[in-house]
Amino acid sequence: MRRVGVLMSVADAPEGQARLAAFLKGLQQWGWTEGRNVRIDTRWGGGDAERTRKNVAELLALGPDVFLASGDHPVVELQHATRTAPIVFSLARPGGNITGFVFQQLELAQKQVELLNQAFPDRTRLAMLFDAQSADQFVAAERTAKLLNLQVQSLRLENPPYDFEAAIRGAASGDAQMLLILSSPFFLPYRARIVEGRMRTASLPCSSPGIGPSWAGS
């Protein structure tokens, strides 16, 4: 009997449920049936850092043969907790006991800046929405923005759950002409709210590597 520890971000996120279902289906196709030759221990973080750390400790205590992690925050906590247990997840540059790939790469954040600049060459003021989990993306995106002679308005969100509508209003009141929403595990559960807040409070060309397909307005 093998044991797999699964650490997911948010229980009510359709994407997370779909990923877990696809994972279980894939195991069955390779002959691994839960309860017969494999046991799956799943924990959901709910976008809460403290809960995620508690979930990591619980899963480690169960002694899984391998971890499956979804979301940046679960991955970071697992990395801090163990350097020996195999971790399968999404990371741009795997190393040590970790492997995988991710869409939330620094290069992608930089590319989003370039795409906005190409789409709206007459606009020079760019607001960036980010939090502690996406601060490295902000640094990379800001570097690219400066190379393109764009003025950057920093909109850092603190203490989730965040007030996205207020942050987007801040972008508009700061005379931003474009908006880049960087990728964070704390943003994903609220994608619809972010889009709605942006539509209600500001009509800015907007792009996001982590909220889903890029969108733009005028």
Domains for the chain: give ranges and CATH numbers: 2-100 (3.40.50.2300), 106-207 (3.40.50.2300)
Distance CA 210, CA 175 (A): 24
The reported pLDDT for the residue numbered 142 is: 94
For 192-205, what is the mean pLDDT? 66
pTM: 0.54
Strand partners, 66: 4
> Average pLDDT, stretch 137-141?
89
Q: What's the DSSP call for residue 34?
A: B
- Of 83-87, 142-146, 185-189, 195-199, the range with the lowest mean pLDDT is 195-199
**Burial (CB count within 10 angstroms: exposed 0-12, middle 13-18, buried 19+), residue 195:** middle
Question: Which H or E run contains 5?
Answer: strand 2-8
Highest-confidence range of 34-38, 41-45, 101-105, by mean pLDDT? 34-38
**Whether pLDDT at 214 is above 50:** no
Q: What is the spatial distance between Cα 157 and Cα 100, in angstroms, rounded to a whole number?
A: 28
